């Protein structure tokens, strides 16, 4: 995977490793139809690929990878019979996950209800930003 995509993906993987109850097994792979991708595998061996879906800014690519990783995490948590919410909204615990997006040129996790930024992508488990 090229440097730009690796840089866009690294904060997402940092968040998964820091806060997801199901740790992903991460492998870079190549698919002839898709191209380069990063696979996230669950303990049972099932997995999902994170693929660059569009160009855009570095922040947009990171937010896109975060959105794809969130889909993987929800499925992985469900398969482990855990609450299928990742990342959990700190404003509304046990309610809904945060949403990935871009605010002022930065990839962030925000509450989908209040739109308040909870953390930059890559900053989960750290201090809360506003």
Q: What distance in Å separates the CA atoms of residue 73 and residue 88, rounded to the nearest whole number?
A: 11
User: Which of 27, 28, 22 has its CA nearest to residue 42?
Assistant: 22
pLDDT recorded at residue 68: 95
17 in Cβ contact with 52 (< 8 Å): no
Q: Cβ of 114: how many Cβ atoms within 10 Å?
A: 11
User: Which of 47, 52, 72 has its CA nearest to residue 64?
Assistant: 52
pLDDT recorded at residue 74: 94
Residues 27-37 have a mean pLDDT of 87
**Is the predicted pLDDT of residue 129 greater than 60, yes or no?**
no
Q: Cβ of 46: how many Cβ atoms within 10 Å?
A: 12
Q: pTM for the whole thing?
A: 0.89
Confidence of residue 128 (pLDDT cuts 50, 70, 90): very low
User: Which of 111, 84, 113 has its CA nearest to residue 100?
Assistant: 111
Q: Three-state SS for 108? A: strand
């Amino acid at each position: 995977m090229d440097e730009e995509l690796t840089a866009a993906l690294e904060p997402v993987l940092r968040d998964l490793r820091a806060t997801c109850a199901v740790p992903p097994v991460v492998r870079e792979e190549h698919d002839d139809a898709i191209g380069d991708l990063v696979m996230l595998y669950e303990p049972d061996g099932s997995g999902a690929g994170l693929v660059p879906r569009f160009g855009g800014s570095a922040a947009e690519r990171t937010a896109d990878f975060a959105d794809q990783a969130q889909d993987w995490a929800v499925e992985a948590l469900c398969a482990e019979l855990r609450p299928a919410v990742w990342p959990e909204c700190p404003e509304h615990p046990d309610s809904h996950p945060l949403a990935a997006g871009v605010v002022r040129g930065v990839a962030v996790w925000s509450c989908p209800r209040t739109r308040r930024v909870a953390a930059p992508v890559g900053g989960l488990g750290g201090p809360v930003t506003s």
